């Protein structure tokens, strides 16, 4: 029995010894765990980027001209991009906010036709908070290489917005590019080709296409706009949709902000495409 | 008239007897009250193992106090040895109490919500001093408790201790076995990582099979709180784990232990005549008193076990590393149920989900529960129970076999190309590629067949392993199997490693391909237990 009491006390001492050894190593262990977790966040972020971000921002975040800006560019990390868009918080907050909430309106000075989607679950997107954090960790990990000149800033796509002056002289239009804009980028086809939310563009039955209709429409009685040619009429209908609303349709359904979103070239291409539909 | 009156009799006694005798009397009184009947002299006698006085004062705490009231005052010398109990019932109780204490400490850092549960785990492991060892201890003791409880049941069967009059003790023991296993199982879900979600999903998918369909669906809804695990399911399992099951366990334990003491610990089978039960009548010369022998030993066991558990959790055993956040959309390859339910997973591979997942396990549990009421052979002696003991051995062997069949090593049909990649990049543990030294992953493209030409030993080993598993992809349908490993520089301290398996389909000559990429950071430290 004395032996048992001695063993019991020894075991208690050993237990205290173990706790002391563990306790001495705890701050290092916690630091290591946090470090390893941060590193794994970057790994997780890399695979999320591959699935969700790569299509627009490029496989290495170098951006794709006309689609989405570079993320590994120096201006992202030296503060100039934040200054340009007028964000006064920190870079991680900025990146986190943009990923989580998306960009329903374009940033100042940019004119990308597609908007950054909402990713954070708290804003209705598909990613959990820790996944957004992982993406932020991955994007911020470009810092060293970006500042060393690794990536280059991708210019915003196509110059300044066209504005709402329909007498502006437009450059020569490319109907093929206009078709791409209408169907893939701007989504015009959704209402003007596939459904009858807006006047149908292609010819259908006895009704001619939008190109043919435009040539007579601006001279028709009841026309309330200021266009003096088919091109101007289509220009006006695009950037000032309420100047004249075709019979049988409601005002304010057509997006009102195309004057700020489209470049002169985009507008010319769109008009060229519409005129080709006869 | 005084406004208030103090009653401090010790002051009067000091006045009467003098300071020292009065304080001494007070001390004796205090010790006797705290120990429920032992004076300081008696305590000293217990510690020195002196012969007790007559009447034995060491019996008073059993009669007067609550805690010792539950313990017998003496045991039979024949059940005091290591055989026949192996201390397994005592160990189960020890682990149960240990789990409650560590569990309550863990609850301090945990919130049962999918939004924060995983973050809580990160906080526990990365920001709470002694957080990791706390989790390791809770997990280690849980695994040991399942083992000890199962062994306890086996021992009770082997020594025939379930026989009359202890049938009901056995039945409550089966309830406790169930409570232990479901407690352990429900705790799996709480960290809310991929392992949690999928191990528990596999276990819980059984209830969905209950026929008819409307019942299965409803029970599934009750268990998971939704068609799939989510916020409600996590909350339900948490409440089961921390409230309902511990409560059920404590109640069942109360009945179980009461019955054990009521009937006395059964003597070794060969000690009694067949049909006799003399455990309750312990002759004077065979008594081992709780105080001091048993008490001293149990206290030393407690401190010794604590030292072993803490030592093991500090230096040997770590709870499984936290996997990525639970994701209902991604099922990891090779997910299994917890090891003590692998036998059910094994049975499910035999055939129908209803028969093998519900009816057979249900029948087995029911059989276990009523076993002592059905098997009523009077003899507890080993020689008279050859059939029963052989059947038990067969049962254990069958469970081991079924458990093996539950692992991914048996009859899991996945495509060999995915298996080949999973050999290096498993989805349920870090595996060789993630654990390899980061610096050794030199940039480049390496062909598995030319594994000997890789620039360093780490890459050679990895490619050789890859090459070896690629031979499984080769089959009558697939020829020209080749494997490539591509290592790219992706970011600062980040490499992208792609494993690609290609082959030619014999049937139509078309090319097949499977590839998987992983990103590896310099500091991600998969080799460690963290």
Per-residue model confidence as pLDDT tens digits over B323-354: 888 988 888 888 888 999 999 889 988 888 88
Strands B287-289 and B478-491 come out as unpaired
pLDDT at B530 over 60: no
Helix (H), strand (E) counts: chain B? 21, 6
Are residues B493 and A40, on separate chains, in Cβ contact within 8 Å? no
Q: Tell me the shortest Cα–Cα distance from A39 to chain B, in angstroms.
A: 5
In a domain, residue B456? The reply is yes
Q: Is A141 found in the same domain as A49?
A: yes
Closest-CA distance of chain B to residue A67, Å: 22
Pair A138, A197 in one domain: no
Of the three residues B335, B355, B372, the one that is the final residue of a domain is B335
Q: Are residues A254 and A193 in the same domain?
A: yes
* Both tokens assigned to B175: 């309830």
Instruction: Specify whether B145 is located in the same domain as B23.
Output: no
Those of residues 290-309 in B touching chain A at CB distance below 8 A are: 292-293, 296-297, 299-300, 302-304, 306-307
Return mean pLDDT, chain B: 91
Please check whether residues B236 and B308 belong to one and the same domain: yes
Task: Please answer yes or no on whether A1 and B122 come within 8 Å at the CB atom.
Answer: no
Nearest to A180 by CA among A270, A72, A82: A270
Q: What is the pLDDT of residues A36-46, one digit of tens each?
A: 999 999 999 99
Assign A265 a pLDDT band (cuts: 50, 70, 90).
confident
pLDDT score at A158: 46
CB contact A32 to B (< 8 Å): yes
Q: Does B180 touch chain A (CB under 8 A)?
A: no
**A36 and B293 in contact by Cβ < 8 A?**
no
Q: Does A115 touch chain B (CB under 8 A)?
A: no
**Residues B214, B508: Cα–Cα separation, whole Å:** 46
Question: Would you call A107 an interface residue with chain B, using a CB distance cutoff of 8 Å?
Answer: no
How far is B132 from chain A, CA to nearest CA, in Å?
A: 9
pLDDT in tens, B444-469: 889 998 888 889 999 999 999 999 98
CATH of the domain at A254: 1.10.760
Question: Does A19 reside within a domain?
Answer: no
- Residue B204 counted as domain residue: yes
**CA–CA separation, B280 vs B75, rounded Å?**
9
What are the b/e assignments for A100-118, b being 16+ CB within 10 Å? bbbbeebbeeebbbeebeb
> Among partner residues A4, A37, A141, which is closest to B300 by beta-carbon distance?
A4
Task: Give the residue-averaged pLDDT of A107-123.
Answer: 80
A131 interface with B at CB cutoff 8 Å: yes
Q: Does residue B15 belong to any structural domain of this protein?
A: yes
* Helix-, strand-, coil-residue percentages of chain B, each rounded to 5: 60, 10, 30
Q: Would you state the pLDDT for residue B409? A: 83
Q: Note whether A127 and A90 are same-domain residues.
A: yes
Q: Are residues B115 and B231 in the same domain?
A: yes
pLDDT number for residue B305: 97
Residue A244 to residues A170, A208, A224, A227, Cα–Cα distance (Å)? 21, 19, 5, 10
Which of B198-205's residues contact partners 24+ apart within 8 Å by CB, and which partners? B198/B331, B198/B332, B198/B335, B199/B335, B199/B336, B199/B337, B199/B338, B200/B229, B200/B237, B201/B228, B201/B229, B201/B335, B202/B335, B202/B336, B202/B337, B202/B345, B203/B337, B203/B338, B203/B341, B203/B344, B204/B229
Q: Is the pLDDT of residue A107 over 70?
A: no
Contact A43 B520 (CB under 8 A): yes
pLDDT tens for A14-73 read 999 999 999 999 999 999 999 999 999 999 999 999 989 988 888 888 887 777 888 888
What is the pLDDT at residue A155?
A: 43
| B522 interaction partners in chain A (CB closer than 8 Å) | 39
Instruction: With beta carbons under 8 A apart, name residues in chain B contacting A36.
Output: 523-525, 528, 530
Q: How many domains does chain A have?
A: 2
On whether both B132 and B267 belong to a single domain, the answer is: yes
Q: Output b/e per residue, B321-344; b: 16+ Cβ within 10 A.
A: bbbbbbeeeeebebbbbbbbbbbb
Q: Based on the domain organization, do B89 and B45 belong to the same domain?
A: no
Q: Please state the ipTM of this predicted complex.
A: 0.86
* Inter-chain residue contact A22 with B304, CB threshold 8 Å: no
Q: Are residues B133 and B240 in the same domain?
A: yes
Residues of A in contact with B325 (CB under 8 A): 128, 130-131
Asked if the Cβ–Cβ distance from B303 to A11 is below 8 Å, we say: yes
The whole-angstrom distance between A37's CA and the closest CA on chain B is: 7
The end-to-end CA distance of chain A, in Å, is 107
State the pLDDT confidence band at A198, using cuts at 50, 70 and 90.
Answer: confident
Has residue B267 got a pLDDT over 70? yes
> With an 8 Å Cβ cutoff, are B130 and A23 in contact?
yes
Q: Which two tokens stand for residue B316?
A: 């040997």
* pTM confidence score: 0.81
Q: Is B519 on the interface with A (CB under 8 A)?
A: yes
pLDDT tens-digit series, residues B80-101? 989 999 999 999 999 999 999 9
When CB atoms are compared, the residue of B303, B325, B523 closest to A35 is: B523
In a domain, A14, yes or no: no
A140 and A182 in a single domain? The answer is no
Do B119 and B223 fall into the same domain?
Answer: yes
Provide mean pLDDT across the span B58-70: 92
**Residues of chain B positioned with their CB less than 8 A from the CB of A76:** none
Tens digit of each residue's pLDDT (9 = 90 or more) over A215-233? 888 888 888 888 888 889 9
Structural domain includes residue A9: no
Per the structure, the complete domain to which residue B153 belongs is given by: 79-335
pLDDT of residue B158: 95
Option in A4, A33, A47 nearest B297 (CB): A4
Q: Is residue B379 situated within a structural domain?
A: no
Q: Are residues B320 and B441 in the same domain?
A: no
Number of domains composing chain B = 3
Using the Cβ of B521 and the Cβ atoms of chain A, whether some distance falls under 8 Å is answered with: yes
- Burial of B526 from C-beta contacts in 10 A (0-12 / 13-18 / 19+): buried
Q: Does A34 contact B127 at a Cβ distance shorter than 8 Å?
A: yes
| B528 pLDDT higher than 60 | no
| pLDDT band for position A156 (cuts 50, 70, 90) | very low
Share of chain A above pLDDT 90, in %: 32
What is residue A151's predicted lDDT score, i.e. its pLDDT? Answer: 54
Higher pLDDT, B144 or A179: B144
Instruction: Specify the DSSP class assigned to residue A25.
Output: H
Q: Which residues of B touch A47 (CB under 8 A)?
A: 517-519
Are A213 and A139 in a shared domain? no
Q: Is there a domain that residue A6 lies in? A: no
Kindly state whether residues B167 and B245 are assigned to the same domain.
Answer: yes
Could you report the per-residue pLDDT of B150-171, keeping only the tens digit for each?
A: 999 999 999 999 998 999 999 9
Q: Does A147 touch chain B (CB under 8 A)?
A: no
Cβ–Cβ contact A246 with B under 8 A: no
Shared-domain flag, residues B28 and B106? no
From chain A, the residues in CB contact with B530 under 8 A are 29, 32-33, 36
- CA B47, B49, B54, B58 dihedral sign is positive
Q: Which among A274, A170, A172 has a CA at the least distance from the CA of A217? A: A274
Q: Which residue from B127, B310, B528 is facing A30, i.e. has the nearest CB?
A: B127
- A103 lies in which domain range? 31-147
Average pLDDT over residues A204-223: 84
Cβ distance of B493 and A15 shorter than 8 Å: no
pLDDT digits (tens, 9 = 90+) for B482-495: 889 989 888 889 99
pLDDT at B255: 97
A265 within 8 A of A199, measured Cβ to Cβ: no
Q: What is the CATH number of the domain that holds A62?
A: 1.10.760.10
- Interface contact A34-B494, CB threshold 8 A: no
Whether residue B292 is preceded by a cis peptide bond, meaning omega within 30 degrees of 0, is yes
Total Cβ atoms within 10 A of residue B244:
15
Cβ of A130 and B118 within 8 Å? Answer: yes
Please compute the mean of the pLDDT values over residues B292-316 and round it to a whole number: 95
Instruction: Tell me if A21 is assigned to some domain.
Output: no
Report the C-alpha gap between A90 and A97 in whole angstroms: 11
Of A5, A36, A141, the CB nearest to B494: A141
Closest chain B residue to A41 measured between Cα atoms? B524
Cross-chain residue pair B126–A30, CB shorter than 8 Å:
yes
Query: Residue B308's pLDDT is what?
Result: 97
Tell me, yes or no, whether A186 lies in a domain.
yes
| Whether residue A123 is found in the same domain as residue A189 | no
Q: Is A37–B126 a contact, with Cβ atoms under 8 angstroms apart?
A: yes
- Residue B349 belongs to a domain: no
Q: Is A44 on the interface with B (CB under 8 A)?
A: yes
As a whole number of Å, the end-to-end CA separation of chain B is: 72
* Residue A242 resides in a domain: yes
Is the Cβ of A142 closer than 8 Å to some Cβ of chain B? yes
Q: Does residue B309 sit in the same domain as residue B424?
A: no
């Amino acid at each position: 029995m004395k032996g048992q009491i001695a063993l019991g006390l020894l075991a208690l001492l050993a237990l205290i010894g173990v706790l002391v050894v563990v306790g001495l190593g705890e701050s290092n262990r916690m630091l290591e765990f946090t470090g390893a977790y941060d590193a794994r966040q970057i790994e997780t972020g890399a695979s999320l980027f591959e699935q969700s971000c790569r299509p627009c921002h490029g496989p290495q975040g170098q951006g794709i001209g006309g689609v989405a800006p570079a993320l590994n560019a120096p201006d992202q990390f030296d503060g100039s991009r934040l200054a340009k868009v007028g964000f006064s918080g920190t870079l991680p907050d900025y990146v986190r906010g943009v990923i989580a909430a998306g960009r329903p309106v374009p940033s100042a000075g940019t004119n990308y036709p597609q908007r950054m989607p909402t990713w954070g679950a708290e804003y209705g997107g598909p990613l959990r908070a820790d996944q957004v954090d992982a993406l932020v960790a991955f994007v911020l990990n470009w810092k060293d290489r970006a500042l060393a000149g690794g990536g280059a800033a991708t210019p915003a796509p196509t110059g300044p917005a066209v504005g709402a002056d329909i007498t502006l002289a437009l450059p020569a239009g490319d109907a093929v590019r206009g078709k791409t804009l209408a169907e893939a980028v701007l989504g015009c086809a959704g209402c003007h080709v596939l459904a009858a939310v807006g006047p149908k563009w292609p010819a259908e039955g006895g009704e001619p296409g939008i190109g043919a209709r435009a040539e007579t429409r601006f001279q028709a009685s009841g026309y309330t706009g200021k266009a003096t040619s088919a091109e101007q009429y289509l220009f006006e209908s695009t950037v000032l949709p309420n100047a004249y609303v075709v019979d049988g349709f409601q005002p304010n359904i057509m997006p009102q902000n195309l004057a700020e979103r489209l470049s002169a070239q985009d507008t010319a291409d769109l008009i060229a495409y519409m005129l080709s539909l006869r | 008239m005084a406004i208030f009156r103090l009653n401090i009799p010790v002051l009067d006694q000091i006045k009467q007897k003098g300071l020292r005798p009065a304080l001494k009397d007070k001390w004796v009184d205090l010790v006797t009250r705290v120990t429920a009947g032992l004076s300081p002299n008696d305590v000293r006698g217990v510690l020195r193992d002196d012969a007790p006085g007559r009447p034995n004062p060491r019996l008073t705490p059993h009669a007067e106090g609550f805690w010792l009231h539950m313990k017998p005052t003496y045991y039979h010398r024949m059940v005091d040895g290591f055989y026949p109990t192996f201390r397994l019932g005592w160990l189960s109780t020890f682990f149960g109490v240990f789990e409650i204490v560590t569990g309550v400490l863990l609850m301090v850092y945990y919130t049962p919500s999918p939004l924060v549960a995983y973050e809580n785990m990160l906080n526990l492991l990365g920001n709470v001093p002694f957080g990791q060892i706390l989790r390791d201890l809770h997990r280690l003791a849980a695994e040991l408790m399942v083992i000890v409880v199962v062994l306890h049941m086996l021992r009770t069967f082997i020594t025939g201790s379930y026989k009359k009059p202890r049938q009901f003790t056995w039945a409550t023991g089966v309830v406790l076995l169930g409570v232990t296993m479901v407690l352990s199982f429900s705790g799996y879900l709480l960290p809310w990582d991929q392992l949690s979600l999928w191990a528990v999903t596999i276990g819980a998918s059984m209830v969905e099979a209950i026929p008819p369909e409307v019942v299965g669906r409803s029970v599934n809804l009750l268990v998971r709180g939704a068609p799939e695990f989510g916020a409600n399911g996590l909350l339900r399992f948490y409440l089961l784990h921390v409230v309902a099951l511990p409560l059920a366990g404590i109640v069942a334990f109360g009945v179980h232990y009461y019955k054990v003491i009521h009937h006395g610990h059964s003597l070794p089978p060969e000690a009694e005549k067949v049909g006799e039960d003399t455990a309750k009548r312990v002759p004077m010369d065979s008594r081992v008193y709780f105080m001091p022998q048993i008490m001293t030993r149990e206290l030393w066991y407690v401190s010794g076990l604590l030292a072993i558990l803490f030592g093991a959790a500090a230096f040997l055993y770590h709870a499984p590393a936290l996997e990525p956040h639970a994701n209902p959309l991604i099922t990891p390859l090779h997910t299994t149920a917890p090891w003590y339910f692998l036998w059910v997973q094994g049975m499910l591979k035999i055939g129908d989900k209803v028969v093998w997942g519900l009816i057979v396990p249900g029948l087995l549990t029911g059989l276990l529960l009523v076993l002592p009421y059905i098997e009523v052979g009077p003899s507890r002696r080993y020689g008279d129970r050859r059939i029963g003991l052989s059947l038990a051995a067969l049962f254990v062997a069958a469970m081991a076999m079924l458990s093996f069949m539950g692992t991914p090593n048996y009859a899991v049909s996945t495509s060999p190309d995915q298996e080949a990649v999973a050999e290096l990049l498993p989805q349920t543990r870090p595996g060789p590629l993630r654990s390899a030294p980061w610096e050794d992953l030199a940039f480049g493209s390496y062909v598995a067949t030319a594994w000997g030409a890789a620039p360093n030993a780490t890459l050679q080993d990895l490619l050789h392993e890859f090459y070896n598993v690629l031979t499984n992809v080769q089959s009558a349908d697939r020829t020209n199997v080749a494997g490539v490993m591509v290592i790219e520089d992706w970011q600062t301290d980040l490499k992208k490693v792609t494993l690609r398996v290609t082959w030619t389909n014999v049937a139509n000559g078309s090319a097949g391909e499977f590839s998987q990429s992983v990103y590896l950071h310099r500091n991600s430290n998969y080799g460690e237990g963290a």
